Amino acid sequence: MPTLLEELWQRARRCPFACSLKILLLLLFISALNIAIFFKNDISIHAYIGFLVVVAYVAILAISTNVNCNLSISEDD
């Protein structure tokens, strides 16, 4: 287990943007589940769908920066 944490720490130091996107995605996903389970009657469907769009956008950014720290948009980059 300590070697896994050490590898995660090395990656976070090498590429803080990608790691921060992954942490943000995890927090947004947990909050989306929390809203869907506990606050489903308190929030409108339009606001929740807008929140899910934000979560999806962060997920796309996290996936695109997964391989390296650069945001690769196309094949030519």
| Domain boundaries of the chain, sorted by first residue | 2-64
- Read off the pLDDT of each residue in 17-46 and give the average, rounded to a whole number: 88
Name 63's Cβ contacts closer than 8 Å, sequence gap at least 6.
Answer: none
Q: How far apart are CA 36 and CA 16, in angstroms?
A: 30
Q: Is 6 helix (H, G, I), strand (E, B) or coil?
A: helix
Q: How far apart are CA 45 and CA 26, in angstroms?
A: 22
- Is pLDDT of 63 > 80? yes
pLDDT, position 1: 62
pLDDT, position 5: 76
pTM of the model: 0.72
